[in-house]
Amino acid sequence: MAEIVYMPKLSDTMTEGVVASWNKKVGEAVSSGEILAEIETDKATMEFESFYDGVLLHIGVETGQAAPVNAVLAIIGEKGEDVKAILANAKVAAPAEEKHEEKAPTSKEEVPSPVPVAESKTEKQAAPVQPVAVVPTSNGDGRVHASPLAKKLAEEKGIDINLVRGTGDGGRIVKRDIEHYSPYVPAAGGSVQVTAGVESYTDVPNSQMRKAIARTLSASKFSAPHFYLKMEVDMDNAIAARKAINAQDGVKISFNDMVIKAVASALRRHPKVNADWLGESIRYNDHIHVGVAVAVEEGLVVPVVRFADTKGIATLGHEIKDLAGRARDKKLKPEEMQGGTFAVSNLGMYGIEDFTSIINPPNGCILSVGQIKQTPVVKNGEIVPGNVMKLSLSCDHRVVDGAIGSEFLQTLKNYLENPVMMLV
């Protein structure tokens, strides 16, 4: 008997999903547990397993198309069954007890920070423009930087990925580059013809993640009374401590790992900063779950390091690296991006010295971390070279007052300037 597969609810805030790719074609056999499709939600692109054995009789949502939760996604049954009759009798929404619909987690949501990385799906131009030459995207060692999905699409479309110009971070080739790739056709005589004085533009439909970022952080910015506290940190001792730690066999930590450890230690001493705004009440969390911002193709996700104050720097570093890697590969589970009590966004690796972040509701604060910059400083009455890092704490004034936030930053500064203190 045929089974109707409905668009699953893969996150607590998901209202619709986009089919990123189908792993099966109509007429192919499907086994329970096999990956049927990849579905883009408001948080990430996730693999969706089949719950049935049979033959894929019908695809209800084509690749690249969006559909609301509980829309008919596919039909799996026995070869020869009447698909039209099944669709005619299909319910508009899946039954409440449908077993393949994942229930929304009850823990609070950790929302991505706003970094404008859009997923291009359609293109529109005011007037035709001749294609320009494409520069191959390579790191110089002959290896092309491309996402797994981009490589798969290029292979399916017969596109030489070496000729595609990447628009992702660091020139990485992503899905949209393959979808909108146009082979370079030189003009007569080998020169490139470009139409001068012609206006052109590209309309980029928002991904599910981008919609969630816009919706939630707009609400945060315009409803939560933000204020910002800034402080400079002398990182000389932290640099020396990191060098000593990394000298051990099998151990390698980053400055961001040290920041996360210092944040967790400071939150333990200042529990009023480890708080959430719930509207009718403020929740002061006894546990410390630190969200760490990670850039991905569609924007930014914030996987959560749980009980961060109970873990050593090396353990934190290993966990953060694992979460960040799986975030970029779109392998994070929804629950791994939920429940944070405080968030950290670090743009130091991009050369950003100082910035402020929008608070991820319902959190009361988020910390922005800039690059470590060598600069003249005054020590013992003399101007000497120093290494300075700027911190900015965004606070929701409904939750955290200026004095409380300042005391937290001062403790954080002391931990980073004297790393041995957070190891005790």
Topology of the domain covering 3-88 = OB fold (Dihydrolipoamide Acetyltransferase, E2P) (2.40.50)
Domain 120-205 class? few secondary structures
Question: Which of 8-12, 320-324, 355-359, 377-381 is least confident?
Answer: 8-12
CA dihedral 48→54→55→58, nearest 10 degrees, is: -60
Provide the pLDDT for residue 278: 94
Look at residue 194 in the predicted model and tell me its pLDDT.
Answer: 57
What is the structure's pLDDT at 72? 92
State the angle between helix axes of 402-417 and 255-269 in degrees (0 to 180), rounded to the nearest 10.
130
- For residue 169, the model assigns a pLDDT of 61
pLDDT of residue 251: 87
| Range scoring the smallest mean pLDDT among 22-26, 65-69, 117-121 | 117-121
Q: Evaluate whether 412 touches 266 at the Cβ level (below 8 Å).
A: yes
Closest CA to 121 of 298, 255, 367, 259: 298
Q: Determine how β-strand 365-379 pairs with β-strand 342-346.
A: parallel
pLDDT digits (tens, 9 = 90+) for 307-366: 999 999 999 999 999 999 998 887 888 889 999 999 999 999 999 999 999 999 999 999
pLDDT of residue 130: 39
Q: Categorize the per-residue pLDDT at 418 as very low, low, confident or very high, splitting at 50, 70 and 90.
A: very high
Angle at 290 between CA 288 and CA 295, to 5 degrees: 170
Tens of pLDDT, residue by residue over 171-205, are: 778 877 787 776 644 444 445 455 677 787 777 77
The whole-number pLDDT of residue 293 equals: 93
Residue 401 confidence class, pLDDT cut points 50, 70, 90? very high
Short-list 14, 219, 260, 217, CA closest to 116: 217
Pairing of strands 342-346, 290-292: parallel
Q: What number of other Cβ atoms are within 10 A of residue 368's Cβ?
A: 24
Q: Is the pLDDT of residue 296 over 90?
A: no
User: Can you list the positions of beta strands (E) in 11-90?
Assistant: 16-22, 29-30, 35-40, 45-49, 54-59, 66-68, 72-77
Q: How far apart are CA 165 and CA 181, in angstroms?
A: 9
Backbone angles phi, psi at 196, to 5 degrees: -80, 150
- The Cα–Cα gap between 76 and 269 comes to 56
| Residues 6+ away with beta carbon under 8 Å from 401 | none
Sole residue written with tokens 């209800």: 60
Ranges in the chain annotated CATH 2.40.50.100: 3-88
Check 100, 145, 318, 397 and give the catalytic one. Answer: 397
Q: Are 367 and 263 spatial neighbours (Cβ–Cβ below 8 Å)?
A: yes
Name the amino acid, one letter, at 145: H
Mean pLDDT of the chain: 82
- The maximal CA–CA distance of the chain, rounded, in angstroms, is 88
> What is d(CA 378, CA 44) in angstroms, rounded to the nearest whole number?
47
**Helix, strand, or coil (residue 284):** strand
* Residue 58 annotated in active site: no
Is 102 a residue whose pLDDT tops 50?
no
Query: Alpha-carbon distance 368 to 412, whole Å?
Result: 13
What is the distance between the alpha carbons of residues 401 and 396, in angstroms, rounded to a whole number?
8
Average pLDDT of the segment spanning 231-258: 94
pTM surpassing 0.85? no
| CATH assignment, 208-422 | 3.30.559.10
